[in-house]
Structures are given as structure tokens and as C-alpha cells.
């Protein structure tokens, strides 16, 4: 592309953007329907169902809140194909401009090449985004060096399953745990944790994905034991936990020498055919009010398991729509937002938005219109700080002859990165 052409595009975009902003600020028109662009990984079925149900619920109750909803499913392992899919849908949607172009992008991918593609795309075209990708500060590679303008509207919110593993770090530090086998199931993504979870903690450890069959689980536990690891941290649903504990029982890995720790995204209790095992167990703390809202939605089939994850997707979708609606109402987001197509993007012509989406999200939360089903949200100053806000209940559970014979509630942990465990744990530490 020759220089004049680039200059022309830049000038054109600048004038166009300024013109649009002036226009919409001088003619306040009240709130309008919000147009969504949803991108999900084809493997993320929980997000598919939770976002879908949240949108359906909005349409049923407030049909005027939602306009166009475009949904793109990508295969996370194929970044080029993913980009093509995203761009063909995007370019078609913005080519004609007008009031039906997307206002908000919901990025429900979790990690990997496909997710990275979404980050490059959102940063290039400058669409306000809520991303639920896993990762701590600076882990989202293409969102590391955002301009000040983009920092305000490209927002990542860490989901419950991204926070809970940090309890392992806190336990390891406080209990001086010398070795740890961390086993996680499909509901957790540990890509970013291999290097960071136990950094500067002298705990020898492995982090491995749980296996599916009885035979594979048995082999996995044998392999872990051969590494001389005796403290097991299981991040999983109840079924996987039970299979692991049953196998551990058969191997006599449940006596005093071993330490067992379970972490659940659902409000369940550990079960196993164990003769005598003690487990330190973390599960979401649910208030009576939460319980009512959750049962209402689960009976309608709106919240698939794990509940903590699906409620997060469900609530964030609604919050995003409400925050954009507020923004069209108060004029901070234009009536007809100017967009560039993927094709038009030349490396530095992302429209300037002057849009503080973070502030609008925060404001929406404090309005009465928004009531989370379960977890709430914490807004920090930058990405890697915003996260789902909820507590985990911590109990010491003893299972004897397959029955839970005691449950000592030791307190709660406020889920978060570097969130300390409370003093009450020392009861357990000193046993
Ligand atoms: C969920 O998946 C179905 C089947 O592929 C698809 O039609 C639908 O648009 C998806 N919904 C969301 C919100 O991802
Ligand atoms: C862990 O180690 C520190 C320093 O060695 C010690 O002060 C603390 O009491 C230990 N904690 C437990 C639970 O053993
Ligand atoms: C189980 O392990 C304990 C402690 O290491 C040992 O005393 C006991 O004999 C073992 N039981 C079996 C059935 O291997
Ligand atoms: C269960 O194991 C604990 C120690 O691991 C021991 O103190 C307790 O006596 C055992 N209970 C039974 C019923 O064997
Ligand atoms: C969110 O709003 C509260 C007051 O309503 C304010 O104290 C806080 O600083 C705001 N946070 C952000 C990130 O804007």
C-alpha cells in the first residue's frame, strides 16, 4: 500500500470518527438496543449454553434491550481459520454501517491460539470487549501493550476457575507443603499456571490433567506416587474426585502419610468408598438469596454444571448488555459507532473511542437493575485485576466406611490471586 493511500485512510478515519462523536453527542436519543458479537470456542459448551440462556432470558423479559446478535464458533487449534471466520462475519456486519453494527464483543474463548486470535482482532478493530479468557496480568499476549484508549474498553474478567487454583499457592505457603500433585479436569485451564502458580514457593510439584478411565486414573496415581509426591490437590467435578479417591483408597494412599485437598465449582460434597480419609475441601459459599436464584434457573435448565462457571457467564452477559445500554443512554457510546473492517485495518487505524467501558460496568453494578445470580464482579484498575467475586467455604471432612462422619467448617476464603487464607486455618494446621 503506498504512503498516500495510508495517509488518506488515516485522515478519513480520523474525520469520520470525530464527526460521528460530535453528531451523537449533540443529539441524545435515549437508550437503544445493543448489538452483540459473540465469539466462543467450539469446545466451550458451558459458555455456549449459559450465554445463550442469558440472551434468551433478556429477550423474554426485555425484548427492546437486544438488537442483532452474531455468534461465531471457532476451533481454538486453527488460528488462521478462526480469523477468517471472525473477519468474514465482522466485515459483513460493519460494511454498511448504521445503527445495527456490533456494539459489544463477548469473548468466551478460554486460552490457546484461537483465543489469541480473538485478542488481536478486538485490539485491531477496537470493539468494546468483555473477555473471559484465562490468564493473569500480561498473560494475554496481544493485549499486553494496549494504548490508553483501548485499556478502557478491552476488558478481561478472570472467571472462578481461574482464581480457585490460587488457594493451592496459599495453602502451600502457609502449611509449608513440600510436595504437591495438582490434578485438574476440563473445567480448569492451567496453561498459564504451570510457571506462575507456585513461583517462589519451595513446593516440588507437578500439574497434570485428570484422566478419564479407571485404568488411566490408576496409572496416573501410580506415576505420581513414583515421583514421591504425597499431597494431592484435586480441581475437579465431584465425579472425577470420587474416581480418584476410590483409586487412592484401593492403593492405600489415604492413610496419615498423605494429604488430600479438593476444590469444587459446584456446591457438592466429596464422596468415596474410603475406609478412613480426611479431606480439606473448598466449595462455593452460597447465600440463601443466591440459592433461590440458582434453583430458579437450574430448574429451567438455564445453568449447566459447573454452576459457579455458568452463573459467571450468565451474569457477565447481562451486565455487558446493561452497561452498553447505559452507554447509549448517557451518550458515552455513539448511536452509530464507526467501525473498520478487517480488510481496512492497516496496523494503526483503530478508531479512537474515548469510551470508559470499565467505568460503565462499575456503574451498572451499583445500579439496582443488575443483580448477579451468584458471584459478583470485582473491578480493578487494569486487566489481570478484574475478576469474579465470591467466597469459598473451607471444611475439613472425614469419610469413614464410605460415609461422611464429620465436617468441620474452618472458615471462608475470598477467591482471588494472592488472596490470603484466613487465620482460622491454623486450627487445621496445628492438628
Ligand atoms: C451454541 O451452539 C449452537 C450449536 O452450534 C449454536 O447454534 C448457537 O449459536 C451457540 N450459542 C452461543 C451463545 O454460543
Ligand atoms: C512454616 O514454616 C515457617 C518458617 O519455617 C514457620 O514459622 C511456620 O510455623 C511453619 N508453619 C507450619 C504450619 O508448619
Ligand atoms: C497402608 O499404609 C500404612 C502406612 O504406610 C501401612 O501401615 C499399612 O500396612 C498399609 N496397608 C496396606 C493394606 O497396604
Ligand atoms: C482414621 O485415621 C486417623 C489418622 O489418619 C486416625 O487418627 C483415626 O484413629 C482413624 N480412625 C479410624 C476409625 O480408624
Ligand atoms: C467503582 O465504583 C466505586 C463507587 O461506586 C468506586 O469507589 C470505584 O473506584 C470504582 N472502580 C472503578 C474501577 O472504576
| Per-residue pLDDT reduced to its tens digit, 91-123 | 999 998 888 999 999 999 999 999 999 999 999
370 pLDDT band, cuts 50/70/90, is confident
For residue 45, give the C-alpha cell. 459448551
CA 172 – ligand 2 centroid, Å: 11
Identify whether residues 124 and 251 lie together within a single domain.
no
Residues 269 and 249: their CA atoms lie apart, in Å, by: 17
Percent of the chain at pLDDT > 90 equals 82
Closest-approaching ligand to the CA atom of 378? 5
**Statement to judge: residues 58 and 206 lie in one domain:** no
- If asked whether residues 180 and 151 sit together in one domain, one would say no
The sign one gets for the Cα dihedral 140, 344, 8, 332 is negative
b/e per residue, 133-157, with b = 16+ CB within 10 A?
A: bbbbeebbebbeebeebbbbbbbbb
Q: What is the CATH number of the domain that holds 252?
A: 3.40.50.2300
Q: What ligand is nearest to the CA atom of residue 260?
A: 4
Ligand 1 close to Cβ of residue 38 (< 6 A)? yes
130 exposure class (CB count in 10 Å sphere: 0-12, 13-18, 19+): buried
Q: What is the CA(276)–ligand 4 centre distance, in A?
A: 6
Same domain, residue pair 75 and 108: yes
C-alpha cell at 149: 484508549
Which of 248, 260, 276, 402 best tests ligand 4's pocket when mutated (most atoms within 8 Å of CB)? 276
How far apart are alpha carbons 261 and 92 in whole angstroms? Answer: 50
233 in any annotated domain: yes
What confidence score (pLDDT) does residue 150 get? 98
| Ligand that comes closest to the CA of residue 278 | 4
pLDDT value at residue 28:
52
Q: Which atom of ligand 1 is nearest to the CA of 55?
A: 13
Query: Domains in the chain: how many in total?
Result: 2
Of 24 and 27, which is predicted with more confidence?
27
Do 280 and 192 reside in the same domain of the chain?
Answer: yes
pLDDT band at 427 (very low <50, low <70, confident <90, very high): very low
Kindly state whether residues 27 and 99 are assigned to the same domain: yes
Q: Based on the fold, state whether residues 183 and 34 are members of the same structural domain.
A: no
**Which residues constitute the domain of residue 89?**
3-158+305-389
Flag whether 293 is in a domain.
no
Pocket test residue of 172, 176, 259 for ligand 2, highest count of atoms within 8 A of CB: 176
List the 129-131 sheet strands across, edge first: 66-74, 34-41, 104-107, 129-131, 154-156
- 300 within domain boundaries: no
Whether residues 129 and 144 fall in one domain: yes
End-to-end CA, the chain: 71
pLDDT band for 30, please (50, 70, 90 cuts).
Answer: confident
Average pLDDT, the chain: 91
52 Cα nearest atom in ligand 1: 13
State how far the Cα of 41 lies from the Cα of 110, in Å rounded to an integer. 7
Residue 218 belongs to some domain of the structure: yes
In a domain, 297, yes or no: no
Ligand 2 centroid vs 176 CA: distance in angstroms?
6
Of 372, 389, 406, the last residue of a domain is 389
The whole-model pTM stands at 0.91
In a domain? residue 356:
yes
Q: Whose CA is nearest to atom 3 of ligand 1?
A: 48
Q: Which pLDDT band holds residue 422 (cuts at 50, 70, 90)?
A: confident
Amino acid at each position: 500500500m503506498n504512503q498516500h493511500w495510508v495517509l488518506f485512510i488515516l485522515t478519513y478515519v480520523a474525520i469520520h470518527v470525530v464527526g460521528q462523536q460530535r453528531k451523537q453527542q449533540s443529539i441524545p436519543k435515549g437508550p437503544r438496543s445493543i448489538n452483540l458479537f459473540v465469539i466462543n470456542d467450539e469446545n466451550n459448551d458451558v459458555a455456549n449454553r449459559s450465554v445463550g440462556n442469558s440472551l434468551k432470558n433478556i429477550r423474554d423479559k426485555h425484548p427492546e434491550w437486544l438488537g442483532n446478535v452474531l455468534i461465531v464458533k471457532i476451533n481454538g487449534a486453527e488460528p488462521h481459520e478462526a480469523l477468517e471466520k471472525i473477519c468474514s462475519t465482522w466485515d459483513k456486519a460493519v460494511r454498511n454501517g448504521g445503527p445495527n453494527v456490533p456494539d459489544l464483543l463477548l469473548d468466551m474463548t478460554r486460552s490457546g491460539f484461537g483465543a489469541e486470535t480473538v485478542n488481536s482482532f478486538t485490539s485491531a478493530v477496537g470493539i468494546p470487549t468483555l473477555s473471559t479468557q484465562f490468564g493473569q496480568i500480561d498473560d494475554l499476549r496481544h493485549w499486553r501493550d494496549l494504548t490508553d484508549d483501548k485499556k478502557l474498553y478491552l476488558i478481561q474478567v478472570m472467571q472462578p476457575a481461574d482464581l480457585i487454583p490460587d488457594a493451592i499457592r496459599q495453602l502451600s505457603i502457609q502449611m509449608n507443603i513440600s510436595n504437591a500433585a495438582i490434578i485438574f479436569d476440563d473445567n480448569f485451564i492451567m496453561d498459564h499456571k504451570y510457571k506462575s502458580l507456585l513461583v517462589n514457593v519451595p513446593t516440588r510439584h507437578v500439574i497434570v490433567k485428570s484422566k478419564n478411565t479407571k485404568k488411566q486414573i490408576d496409572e496416573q496415581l501410580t506415576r505420581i506416587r513414583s515421583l514421591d509426591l504425597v499431597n494431592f490437590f484435586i480441581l475437579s467435578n465431584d465425579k472425577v474426585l470420587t474416581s480418584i479417591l476410590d483409586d487412592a483408597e484401593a492403593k492405600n494412599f489415604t492413610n496419615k502419610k498423605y494429604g488430600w485437598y479438593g476444590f469444587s465449582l459446584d456446591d457438592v460434597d466429596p464422596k468415596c468408598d474410603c475406609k478412613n480419609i480426611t479431606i480439606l475441601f473448598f466449595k462455593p459459599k452460597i447465600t440463601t438469596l443466591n440459592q433461590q436464584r440458582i434453583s430458579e434457573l437450574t430448574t429451567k435448565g438455564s445453568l449447566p454444571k459447573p454452576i459457579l462457571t455458568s452463573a459467571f457467564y450468565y451474569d457477565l452477559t447481562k451486565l455487558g448488555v446493561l452497561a452498553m445500554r447505559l452507554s447509549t443512554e448517557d451518550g458515552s457510546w455513539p448511536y452509530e459507532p464507526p467501525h473498520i473492517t478487517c480488510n481496512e485495518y492497516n496496523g494503526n487505524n483503530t478508531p479512537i473511542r474515548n469510551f470508559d467501558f470499565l467505568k460503565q460496568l462499575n456503574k451498572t453494578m451499583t445500579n439496582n437493575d443488575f443483580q448477579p445470580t451468584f458471584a459478583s464482579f470485582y473491578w480493578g484498575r487494569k486487566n489481570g485485576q478484574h475478576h469474579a467475586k465470591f467466597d469459598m467455604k473451607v471444611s475439613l471432612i472425614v469419610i469413614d466406611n464410605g460415609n461422611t462422619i464429620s465436617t468441620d467448617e474452618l472458615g471462608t476464603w475470598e477467591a482471588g490471586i494472592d488472596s490470603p487464607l484466613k487465620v482460622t486455618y491454623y486450627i487445621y494446621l496445628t492438628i
